[in-house]
Amino acid sequence: MQWPRSRLYLRMAVHIGAALAAFIALGAAALATIAAFELRGYVETRHSTLGREAARVLVSGGRPALENWLRTDADIPEDVSIYILDRNSKDILGRKLPDLYQNFVQTSVVGADNDETANFRAVRLAPELIGPDNESYFFLVLPKGITIWGSPATALGLITAALLVVASVAWLIASGVGRPIGELQRAVSELAAGHTDARVPASIAGRRDELGVLAANFNAMANQLDGLIASREQLMREMSHELRSPLTRLQTAIVLASEHNKLDPSEQERIDMEIRRMNQAIGEMLHYSSLDTRVTMQRRLLRVGKLLRRLAEVEELEASDHGCTINVDKESNLAVVGDRELLRRGFENILRNAIRFAPSGSSIDITARRKGKFIVVEISDRGPGVPTADLEHIFEPYTRSTDTSDRSVGTGLGLAIVKRVFERHAGEVIASLRDGGGLTIRVKIPAAELT
């Protein structure tokens, strides 16, 4: 059989072996201490002069005097019982021996040797008293608080020793195994939530067992991932700069060409629109890539109703151009803690998307309600909606519905930015089909507790 060479296995084996050794040592010490305390009266009585005094009483007055002495005159300690037994193992006062001692008395006290003529006498565990009529009695001392099976105190001592050992080993295992696993789990959860700076502490990653190797590998992976994200952001910034510079020069050239009447007005308008779309796409792409944990959010207390009302007023002009209206229905005192600009941008993208697809003569309804510990904001339109199969994917980058006829507008990043913005605020965003036609975007974010 091949023994495992795991350092973690050896650590656990050492802990368990030490626990067994500690339990044996503590148990033995507890038994010795408790037994010495509880048997103190028994030992003192065994070594006292009570037995000899009983023998003198028996010689001088026979069994009646011995019975009277045992009943009234004997100075017996409180923690022991004294029985004086005849040859039939019966107490001279008629008291019954405890059941646990019946066999012990018959085999080791009274019946140890019934052959008086033999030249071998077995050792009796109680002194023998000889009366004037040559009748034998046995002076038996029994402890009250302890039996041959122990006592409640010894059981309590063993249980206490076991609990101390178990608690110590549990603490060792928790600190040596449980805490590292907990730290590793925390770091993995933070990394999964987008915190690329999550690391396992060096005190754990520096261990030489499997948990230490795993923690070190996790930190190396997180470092590499952090570097890749940083490189991506740098690439996006440089690419946006490289793309916007020629676009700016192109726009300037178009203006100059129009001034010299070298461009038809309709062609100039078409070119300007395409340039604006390219600028918008570059801006959206850069904004989307920057929405990760390395961007510091300016968190402050915000009134959701005020933010939505202001946003509706700003977008009212665009809505009127599409022939639709915006209605806001909100509860009072709705507040969150978050970044004002990011939240404004998230709600703005949802509202503009609704305006884009809202038919003329329809209304876009915005509702805000407090539900438990969350604030739920719904923005609903009467547009064409999306197929049910596309509902889960519309928040993915560059995803457009397969049933959308208007493919010439948008960058494909608006709703992806929405999802990332509200996830940064510990919230969620869900799309659903509206009863009677249209689409509803539901945002759920934690509410601020106002005291």
Q: What pLDDT score does 225 carry? A: 83
Residues of the chain with CATH 3.30.565.10: 299-446
Residue 92, SS3 per DSSP? coil
Task: Tell which CATH architecture fits domain 41-143.
Answer: 2-Layer Sandwich (3.30)
**Model confidence pLDDT, tens digit, residues 304-353:** 999 999 999 989 988 998 899 999 999 988 999 988 888 988 898 899 88
Architecture per CATH, 210-290: Orthogonal Bundle (1.10)
> What's the N-to-C CA distance of the chain in angstroms?
67
Asked if the model's pLDDT at residue 224 lies above 50, the reply is: yes
pLDDT of residue 432: 92
Q: How far is CA 110 from the centre of its chain?
A: 65
Q: What pLDDT does residue 289 have? A: 59
Highest average pLDDT, of 141-150, 193-202, 240-249, comes from 193-202
Q: pLDDT category, 424, cuts 50, 70, 90?
A: confident
92-96, 193-197, 424-428: least confidently modelled range: 193-197
pLDDT band at 53 (very low <50, low <70, confident <90, very high): confident
Determine the pLDDT at residue 8.
65
* Residue with more model confidence, 254 or 330: 330
Query: CA 245, CA 242: separation in Å to the nearest integer?
Result: 6
Q: What does pTM read for this prediction?
A: 0.47
Domain with CATH 1.10.287.130 in the chain: 210-290
CATH number assigned to the domain covering 299-446: 3.30.565.10
What is the CB-side half-sphere exposure of residue 334 using CA atoms within 13 A? 23
Q: Per-residue confidence at 153, pLDDT binned at 50, 70, 90? A: low
Lowest mean pLDDT: which of 70-74, 114-118, 396-400?
Answer: 114-118
Across 200-204, 246-250, 294-298, the highest mean pLDDT is recorded for 200-204
Q: How far apart, in Å, are the Cα atoms of 339 and each of 212, 332, 370?
A: 38, 20, 19
Q: Which residues in the chain are classed under CATH 3.30.450.160?
A: 41-143
Task: State the pLDDT confidence band at 80, using cuts at 50, 70 and 90.
Answer: confident
Task: With cut-offs at 50, 70 and 90, classify the pLDDT of residue 408.
Answer: very low
Highest mean pLDDT among 34-43, 125-134, 237-246: 125-134
